[in-house]
Each structure stands twice: as C-alpha cells, then as structure tokens.
Amino acid sequence: MTWTYIDYAVFVSITLLVAWASIERHILIFHQNLVSTQIKRFLVHYLPLFTVTMYPFIYYIIIYFVLPCDPWINFTTPGCGISACAYNTAFLGMWDSIAHNIVPIFIIVIFSMALFVRIWYSKYRINQRMRWKNYRKMSIQLLSISAIYLIIVFPSMILYTLYTAVHLAVKSEHVDKVKAKLIEASRVYAKDKGTIDWFVSQDAADPTKFAIVERYEQQSDVQTHINNPYYKQFGAYVKPLLTKPIELHSLAEMDTSKDVEVPPQTWSDETDQ
C-alpha cells in the first residue's frame, strides 16, 4: 500500500509540476510584471509550486489511508490489484484520469507549443528576424517534452478497452460448484455499467481449470465491477474451493485495424523453438 501511494503521488506530482512549468514560462517571458514584487512572486511562483507538489501527496493519503478501500489483492500478479483504490468510485476514477493525467498532459503540450509560437510572433510583430540557431535548444526541449507525454504517457490514459484475464485452479471435488457459480457470476456481472463482456470458460483437457475474460470500456469501470455487492460474495464462495490463489492479469486491447508486416522467420528462430 505504501509503495503504491508513493508511486502514484510522485508520478502525479511530477506531471503537475511540468504542467505548471509550461504555464509559468509564459509568465516569466511575457508577463514579468506578475512577478515584479515579493508578494506577486509568492502568489504566482512559490504558492503554485508548493500546491502542485503537495496536492498529490495529500490526495493519495486520503485515497489509500483515509477512505475505506478493500481491494481484492493478489500478490502473484503485477500491481496486485491495489491500485483499484484510486478508482474506488466512478467519480474518483474520472477525477484521477482527467485531473491528474489528461488535462496536465494537454497543458504541457499546448503551452509548450504556444510558447514557441508566441516567441516567433513577437519577433514578427516588431519586424525582427528570428534566428533559429539561437532558439535551437529551446525548440528541442519543448518538442521533446511534448513528444514524451504525447507518445509515452497519454495513450495509456485514453485506452478505450481494458481486459482482465482471470485463471482459477479448482479442487477436483468442487468443479461442479465453481462451474455453476461462474455461470451465475457471468450473468450478474454482464449487467454492470461499462462491462462489455464477461466470459467464462473451462479447460477442455483439465476440467479443474477455468478462465474468465472480463472486458471493460475504461479503467474506472473495473471499480464499478468491484463495487458490485456480488463481488465479495463471489470471492468468499470461490476462494476455499481453489488449489492456489487466483491469477489475475490486466491487458490492453491491441489495435488490429491496421495492416502489419510480419518479419520472416529466420533459421535461428526455428532452432530456438
């Protein structure tokens, strides 16, 4: 829990700091009168820096240590499921995605590009030639920051579909019980808001093995699934009937709408198999 808190708080704090820095560049270059006095510097510079730095740490303290949250933790899987506390309700999930990720990233990209445009326009307005060589470092910095957030961070924030794959190994004497419970669960969970599919299947070769494929529209819909009163009932019923802890894997849907070129198989690939 503590490491999850640190991970979320530090990441969001850095993102918000970069977003504010993108805005403050405009103030320092074009609106120096806003920081001309000690009081103005405190209000426009130091106070926002302190706020965006401390806010995530306070917010996630409340999320992880104050508000009630009882995630179904599985230490055999990446993430363990503990991050679900950040999406404890639909509102919290929406706030976390929009306020901590999508909006700051848009601010970083838009204000970084806008700074470049404003400098060019200010030179143009006074009929002064812009020497690109003098602004090369600034251009590289702004383009790099924007590219990093757009290419690496932003796509994960707007994933349309999220998959969860669950594997269960059942004690042989309880196969029929679990099978019936899974069918019942599928009918219950399929009605949840944001749930696209909730498939259950049984291994054809080993009837003690079952798999569940859960398909959601977005991350916050996973918490809607967890908040279903049936969730705890299902877990309490199934867990004693298993031979080992449930294996849970969160997956992102791959884009199959575009043509791809499959590399030819080499001789070394064949020998590796």
More confident residue, 218 or 101: 101
- Model confidence at 153, pLDDT cuts 50, 70, 90, reads low
> DSSP states of 36-57 as a string?
SSHHHHIIIIIHHHHHHHHHHH
Q: What is the mean pLDDT of residues 114-122?
A: 80
pLDDT of 80 above 80:
no
pLDDT at position 78, please? 45
> Tens digit of pLDDT for each residue in 240-259?
999 988 887 776 666 676 78
32 Cβ contact list (under 8 Å, min separation 6): none
**Residues 208/194, Cβ–Cβ less than 8 Å:** no
pLDDT at position 77, please? 45
> Tens digit of pLDDT for each residue in 158-169?
554 566 778 899
pLDDT of 130 above 70:
no
> Tens digit of pLDDT for each residue in 170-213?
999 999 999 999 999 999 988 888 888 888 899 988 999 999 88
pLDDT at position 71, please? 55
More confident residue, 84 or 138: 138
% of the chain beyond a pLDDT of 90 = 21
Structural domains of the chain in order of their starting residue, each with its CATH number: 2-157 (no CATH), 162-252 (3.30.70.100)
Q: What is the mean pLDDT of residues 100-121?
A: 84
Per-residue buried b or exposed e for 131-146, using 16+ beta carbons within 10 Å of the residue's own CB: eeeeeeeeeeebeebb
pLDDT at position 222, please? 79
Residue 62 CA to residue 83 CA, distance in Å, equals 14
Alpha helices per DSSP H over the chain = 2-30, 38-41, 47-61, 90-97, 103-125, 136-147, 154-157, 175-189, 220-227, 230-238, 267-272
Residue 112 CA to residue 134 CA, distance in Å, equals 17
pLDDT at position 163, please? 63
pLDDT at position 76, please? 46
Q: How far does Cα 267 stand from its chain's mean position?
A: 40
Q: What is the mean pLDDT of residues 269-273?
A: 52
pLDDT of 26 above 60:
yes
In 3D space, the residue among 228, 223, 234, 244 whose CA is nearest the CA of residue 183 turns out to be 234
Residue 145's SS3 state is helix
Rounded to the nearest integer, the mean pLDDT of the chain is 79
Q: What is the mean pLDDT of residues 55-65?
A: 89
In 3D space, the residue among 77, 53, 17, 7 whose CA is nearest the CA of residue 251 turns out to be 77
